[in-house]
Amino acid sequence: MGTKQCDYHPTQSAWWHCHTCNKTLCPQCIIRRKGNFQESESVFLCPNCNRVVDDIDLSHVIPPFWKRLHKCFVYPLSAVPSVILIFGLALLSSLFSGPGLFSLVIGFLLWAIMLKYAYEALRTTAEGRLHPPPLSEKALGRDFHLVFKQIFLFVVLFLFFVFVVVRLGPVAWVLFGLIVAIGLPAMIIILAIRDDLGQALNPVNFIGMPIRIGWGYLLLFFFLSILLSAPGALGYYFIQHMPEALQLFLWHSAKNYYTLVSYHLMGYVILQYHDRVGHNVDIDVLIANIHPEAFSQSMPNSTALAGDSQSELLNEVGILIQEGKLDSAITEIQQRTALAIDNPELSDRYVQLLQTRDRMDELLQYAPGHLKQLVVDSEKEKAMSLYLFCSQKHEDFVPSAMTLFKIGSWFNENGQAREAVKIFSRLIKKHPGDALVPKTCYRAAELLHEQLKSTEKARNILKTLIKKYPDHDIVPFAQKYLASL
């Protein structure tokens, strides 16, 4: 099956299909809501017709494991818990490496803890969680019998070889060895996912899995073979040349590290081929790991009105815009938010829509508040552009005094002194009683004299400032500046 692309985001793979409007959708445009009484499962809705959508085969949205091998090797070192476990158990193993039954028992226990954690990593990876699990009771203690089941699995295979295969001759030995070697990853995966030793030893299962997965399983087997030999190669070429006190520690560290890489890799193969092996994947978990930004956008938040978040509304508005329904998009924003818009992107989008549709009355009414937020967020270019647009459309457009002062200052910084003086003049004229007026007068006088060479106008402004605000803190500076003109 070829990869399907989202109808609204052509660069994104589609995850769902809406039969009502025949649209394919990705996590960036889907609407996600909790669907049952316990709110443990999500319902995904089409943003166009608000109907429940159908899942598409998701195997094409999961990057193949051979394209993320570098991440597999980083995986054990990507979280503090796994790093602590790898090197902590290695240190203990090297300390209890002497002869005797006690050291043997401790060594086995430490190996078993690492193996149990590796099984948990396999399971969580197969669920779509691509970070090492925490050092919890679940990761280290629960289902510890899996370790003993794996040991028993090897014992059964050995006994079958000794009592059955040996009697059949050398050809059978080679054939049995080849089948076990290739099928062993499948046995471990089945044991981890289904927790059933009988199913893991069933040839129908451990031979059927490689057949269903195909050449991807053979590639997995190839990489696992390399990983299995990696600690030995590392020991031969590197570790044996280190100081003796470090050798055991590094050897056990390498063993723990490559064990975790191997089990994570097996878990990811199950995630990648979950549809072929009949493994269910929680789509919420998958989105959260593959598209975390889309996950947060599609999930209604606590500030939503009537169950609608403004980030969700932004997605719906984007769909309407792509379909050319600009007026409908404006109406949707107005009705759903009552223009109490907290989302900066949604506010930007609303302003752009009003500009595009030339709905100036609505724009001039909304723009002062939007400009104020742009100033707070230091969005200089957006604020300057919107101010020019609105002021050119209507000469009585008047944002707040603080907004005008900041925008005027930005125009000055941008080398547009004449426009800055116009804005400062508008502030003085439209907000005569504001506390910023004296400072604005002084700044305007500076620009007139130094940038525009209008010294006489600068003198008049300074004289008016000194006369009108004799007790203001800026007056001594104005008097000194006037004297220097």
| pLDDT computed for residue 296 by the predictor | 47
**What is the tens place of the pLDDT at every residue in 309-364?**
777 778 778 878 877 788 888 888 888 888 888 888 888 888 888 988 888 889 98
Q: Is 40 exposed, middle or buried (0-12, 13-18, 19+ CB in 10 A)?
A: exposed
Is residue 87 predicted with pLDDT exceeding 60?
A: yes
Q: What confidence tier does 293 reach under pLDDT thresholds 50, 70, 90?
A: low
| 285 domain-assigned | no
Q: Which segment of 222-226, 312-316, 363-367, 470-474 scores lowest on mean pLDDT?
A: 312-316
Between 179 and 307, whose confidence is greater? Answer: 179
Q: Are residues 104 and 174 in the same domain?
A: yes
Are the CB atoms for 203 and 209 separated by under 8 Å?
A: no
**CA separation for the pair 338, 347 (Å, rounded):** 12
Examine the domain organization and report whether 130 and 30 are in the same domain: no
Q: Which domain holds residue 36?
A: 1-61
Across the strands, what pairs with 55? 16
Question: Domain check: are 273 and 153 in the same one?
Answer: yes
Statement to judge: residues 403 and 415 lie in one domain: yes
pLDDT value of position 217 = 92
**pLDDT given at position 304:** 38
pLDDT tier, 41 (very low <50, low <70, confident <90, very high otherwise): low
Note whether 107 and 46 are same-domain residues: no
Lowest mean pLDDT among 7-21, 84-98, 124-138, 350-364: 7-21
419-455 pLDDT, tens digit each: 999 999 999 988 988 888 999 999 999 998 888 888 8
Asked whether residue 86 is domain-assigned, the answer is: yes
CATH number at residue 430: 1.25.40.10
pLDDT-wise least confident of 70-84, 111-125, 280-294: 280-294
Q: What average pLDDT does range 40-48 have in this prediction?
A: 75
Q: How far apart are CA 390 and CA 361, in angstroms?
A: 10
Whether residue 71 is contained in a domain is answered as: yes
State both tokens at 13.
Answer: 């793979």
| Residue 10 covered by a domain | yes
Is residue 294 scored above 70 in pLDDT?
no
Domain assignment present for 143: yes
pLDDT tier, 410 (very low <50, low <70, confident <90, very high otherwise): very high
Rounded Cα–Cα distance for residues 203 and 199 (Å)? 8
3-class DSSP assignment, residue 188: helix
Question: Is the model's pLDDT at 301 over the cut of 50?
Answer: no
Buried b or exposed e, range 382-398, using 16+ CB within 10 angstroms: bbbebbeebbeeeeebb
- Select from 277, 302, 323 the last residue of a domain: 277
Instruction: Clarify whether residues 125 and 143 are in a common domain.
Output: yes
What value does the mean pLDDT of the chain take? Answer: 84
Q: Please give the pLDDT value at position 3.
A: 58
Instruction: Say if residue 116 is in the same domain as residue 226.
Output: yes
Residues 6+ apart with CB under 8 A from 89: 110, 113, 114, 252, 256
Residues 38 and 172 both lie in one domain: no
Q: Which of these three, 249, 277, 305, is where a domain ends? A: 277
Does residue 199 belong to any structural domain of this protein?
A: yes
Same domain, 194 and 112: yes
pLDDT, position 34:
64
Q: Report how far residue 187's alpha carbon sits from residue 198's, in angstroms, rounded to the nearest whole number.
A: 10
Same domain, 82 and 43: no
Single residue among 277, 299, 323 that ends a domain in this structure: 277
Number of domains in the chain: 3
In this predicted structure, the answer to whether residue 225 has a pLDDT above a threshold of 50 is yes
- CA 389 – CA 392 distance, rounded (Å): 5
Whether residue 299 lies inside any domain: the answer is no
What's the rounded Cα separation, in Å, for the pair 73 and 71?
A: 5
Q: CA angle, 230 as apex, 227 and 236 as ends, to 5°? A: 170
Q: Which band of pLDDT confidence, cut at 50, 70 and 90, is reported for residue 299?
A: very low
Question: 206 lies in a domain?
Answer: yes
48 shares a domain with 35 = yes
Percent of the chain surpassing pLDDT 90: 26
Question: pLDDT tens digit string along 242-257?
Answer: 777 688 888 889 899 9
Q: Report which of residues 115 and 42 the model is more confident about.
A: 115
Compute φ and ψ for 46, nearest 5 degrees: -70, 130
Cβ neighbours of residue 237 under 8 Å, at least 6 residues apart?
none
Q: Are residues 52 and 175 in the same domain?
A: no
DSSP state of 23: E
- C-alpha pair distances (Å), 202 with each of 157, 194, 214, 391: 12, 13, 19, 78
